[in-house]
A and B are shown apart, each in its own frame.
Chain A
Amino acid sequence: MTLRKDRRDFLLKVGTGAGMAALAAQATASLRSLVPNVSYDAPTTVKIGQPTDFPDGLKFLPDERLFVFREGLTFHAISAVCTHLGCTVRAEALSQVETAMVEGAPLRLTHRFMCPCHGSRYSGDGGNQSGPAPRPLAWYHLSIAPDDGQLVVDLAREVSRDFRLTVA
């Protein structure tokens, strides 16, 4: 008698377990299908134009959400994406241009940046000054395209704030 009851118990547990496992596998398959395997996002390495097309000072590139600064023959690029919650910050020209040492390299500060969503403020080098922004704005790597000499920004490659690209 006990043997028979054990067998029924065992079969019941096996059946229930198999049912649960099947449900879990189907749920996993359904949920996994929602995680994309291919990204159709825009490429992170973008040609942004000939160096000569950039004016001295600041140019905003809305598609890349990027500020490109030119100082004679040197260039650097600062992200316009607020580090707090991702709104696009706006640049405001300073009344007085000043030069400061940023990470050991001199930098001409012509603008400051302000976020319309939650009021974060950044200095001209992208440093977070006030408001809820937790980090400075990102600086991105610039290079020259070997084929046509355009400026190329790598939006996946953050650089330190002493980065400059000098065009010969």
Chain B
Amino acid sequence: MRKQGDAHGALTPPSEAPGVHPKPLWSFRPDSDRASGDAVVSNFLLHWFPAKALKASLDWNYSLWLGTVSAALLLLLVLSGMPLLFLYVPSVERAYATVKDIEYVVTFGSWIRSVHRIAAHLMVAAVALHLARVFFTGAYKNGVGQGQRREWNWVLGVGMLLATLFLSFTGYLLPWDQLAYWAVTVGTNIASSIPWIGPAIRELLLGGRVIEQPTLIRFYVLHILALPGLLGILFVYHMWRIRKDGGLARADREALLAEKAATPPAATKTYTLLGIARGTAPTIRASSLARPDASVNAVPDLTRRAAIVCLGTIAVLSILAVFIRSPLEEPANALVTPNPAKAPWYFLWLQEIVTDTTVHIGAFTINGAFLGGVILPGLLIALLTVWPWLDRSPAGVAGVWFARDRRTQNLAFILLALGVIALTLVGTFCRGPYWHFYWPWETWPEIPARI
């Protein structure tokens, strides 16, 4: 077992006084509580960790570690993006050729591009699942800690989901292939459908009235600078808020439970002599957070699991990228729209919605681009954002999977999610040429490529 550190002796030299860390390095295998605390305090990467972590918060099946998976994928995206920055040229004449070179000429280029692309796809999924986990566990709820603002961390999280989606969108435009060109066309026309200010927004996004070089460079700068910067700031703030909110929501639950369970009085103290109580001894309430069996040192227990998740994510992705090649469609061609022209899977539900929401009321028409492309997604995001303030369930259910008190909310969330999933599946498997409905087992009719 660990031996108690002897730094607390009476004749402590100044360099070993508490708060002073004379060693430039730290140990991931600390031999005392003091050393494990030092590993957190003196380590730049670990400075956002607490010295002690609650065992319950580290459970694999509580958080599913989806936030850590998302962060590991973000790290991979930044790392794999670095060589791509050197290889890709953001010009409408050369963008497609450079991506083709990355795919077919550059040594390991195809693997790097696949790492970047697969990590991006998985990150959208991981961030969405992380949001679902936080919702189902009511982890945006404040518990017993002081100064908790978990609802704001939820809002930050929604912002990060949006940043992730915009990063994906701006990313798949860069190869300047058919997918890219028609995605820009549809995406900016959705912005254009907003009454009054829409056309001005489209012009600002495109850098003109047509899709040309100014458009590509704008989306490029958004993709490599503006959006990563925004996501980085939100990420740092997100992590900081977890510390300020007292860790995962589950920690509050453990504290609440501890208050219900009374701790027997210590055998060494006598209360009856003081006249405080007679007969039975008073019970002492103690938080379970202080119980030695409830928490562990962050180093190495928390860091070990974080390392397993990060390295596991990196390993799985590296292997996937070997086997899954990244597609590249034909060069961007303003003259021919692919038939059918499909968005990536995470936007297909939106493509379904803009298809189905044009409403005719007499002579008055609401464009589906506005209703389905702006209003409905906007309402959905607004609803997600304000949900913590609509949730009136007791604080005790924070950090509990599918709590009975939140059954209706969870059901509503599941129904909405199922709706989105159903639309995604229809878009993926049941839409053929001219966006007609075909069952997956039906063959599509032959359509000539050109008129």
Contacts and interface: CB of A to CB of B under 8 A. Distances in A.
Interface of A: 34-36, 39-42, 60, 62-63, 65, 84-88, 90-91, 114-119, 131-135
Contacts of B338: 116
B383 to A, nearest CB: 24
A87 B337 contact: yes
Given A84-B369, A85-B185, A132-B354, A115 B435 contact: yes
A71 B364 CA distance: 33
B408 interface: no
Interface residues of B, number: 41
Given A85-B369, A133-B358, A60 B451 contact: yes
Contacts of A41: 208-210, 212
B208 A86 contact: no
Nearest to B333: A62
A103 to B, nearest CB: 16
A85 B186 contact: yes
A126 to B, nearest CB: 15
Interface string B184-199: 0110011001000000
A117 B350 CA distance: 12
Contact of A34 (B204, B341, B433): B204
Contacts of A63: 335
Contacts of B214: 36
B219 to A, nearest CB: 13
Residue of A36, A39, A41, A88 with most partner-chain B CB within 10 A: A88
B210 A42 contact: yes
A3 B308 CA distance: 65
A154 B51 CA distance: 71
Contacts of B208: 36, 39-41
Contacts of B340: 116-117
Contacts of B435: 115-119, 131
A119 B436 contact: yes
Contact of A132 (B204, B334, B358, B436): B358
Given A34-B204, A60-B451, A62-B336, A87 B354 contact: no
B207 A88 contact: no
A96 B337 CA distance: 27
Contact of B434 (A36, A119, A133): A119
A34 B201 CA distance: 12
B365 A134 contact: yes
